[in-house]
Amino acid sequence: MIDHIPGFNFAVSENQELVRGMVKDFAEKNIRAKLMEWDENQYFPVDVFKKLGALGLMGVLVPEEYGGSGFGYQEYVDVIVEIAKVCGSIGLSLAAHNSLCTGHILAFANEEQKLRWLPKLATAEWIGAWGLTEANTGSDALRMMTTAILDGDHYVINGAKNWITHGKSGDVAVVMVRTGDKGSAKGISALVVERGTPGFSAGKKENKLGMRASETTEMIFDNCRVPAANLLGNVGDGFKQAMKVLDGGRISIAALALGIAKGAYEAALAYAQERHQFGQAISNFQAISFKLADMATEIEAAELLIRQAADMKNRGLKMTKESAMAKYFASEVSVRVATDAVQIFGGYGYTKDFPVEKFYRDSKLCTIGEGTSEIQKIVIAREILNA
């Protein structure tokens, strides 16, 4: 089944080494000391993303002519992993900004639109949001209720989007709206809405189990008039665009899950070698060493799936199945690894004084966001049965 791995170069490029070092250093200096304070207060640290933008990390995949770094998906995976090893919340917001809002505009905007929005997004002058999900239409996006009706040279949007990363603080949002029949794949279009547009506001902010420093809110549209020039592609292209954006987005969430798993594993490995019981390090006990072996093996396997999907994305190959597999497996691995990490820490793992408690809470979102594990199975099954 794995017919693309033989052509993949497993060597880490010089670019990747430099990116990893830069991002690791950034996370230690700008995130580590504050992450629990942000988590407790559900504080979204916009200033951190401005600093990431100055390093080119808010436009990792954006070509240099639009103000981005012009890197590929392997470097992008490295960026997300290194941030998520320290804080899943910052990793999630970084992924949502790059893959969803910025990625959608990069893939489907015309040249005038790219020049208008990409430089601001790539430098974090603007934070991006992306709106697909609604209160009653999560995976069933074709039955969305948010509508956009053409009135002269503007669309009038009415409705609401839920579970939107940066739904309040985002300066610009790519929003999927119904412009045709409910249930029709050609009835959805994509519009870009800038903050400050009359009728566009933020609603409820979600009080979440994990990823608490990554802002999640409603976006509300009340007779919101958006220029027709803000349409991405053609009328009716929105659903098809969104599905392609999610193919790439699954790689970023898989990378997010991998980073969380690596962070939890590294903390558990160090603790197991430092913690002594019955006169020896607990890592000497088979029950603990076997847990560590399972964690390390599953992390390696998840990374191989992610690297394969990233390689195929870089080469312009269809990778719907591979990105779904990577997202499904890596997210489930993240939860298992974080759970075992808490177990290795014992009672200390259940407190907020040690990092694995947060990894444990953050990991669960990876099995839900950008398509649940169950939806990934549907995607994978459809791809292998229709092959």
- The Cα 361–Cα 370 span in angstroms is 17
> 14 catalytic, yes or no?
no
Q: Could you tell me if residue 183 is left (phi over 0), alpha (psi between -120 and 50 degrees) or otherwise beta? A: left
- Rounded CA gap, 213 and 356, in Å? 16
Which one of the listed residues 65, 322, 370, 383 is annotated catalytic? 370
Q: Nearest Cα to 258, choosing from 78, 20, 18?
A: 78
Pick from 107, 128, 122, 108: which is nearest to 66 by CA? Answer: 122
Q: Which two tokens stand for residue 145?
A: 């209720």
Spatial distance between the Cα atoms of 386 and 48, rounded to a whole number of angstroms: 44
- Of 212, 145, 303, nearest to 311 (Cα)? 303
- Three-state DSSP class for residue 371: coil
Residues 6+ apart with CB under 8 A from 334: 257, 258, 260, 261, 264, 302, 363, 366, 367
Residues catalogued as catalytic: 370
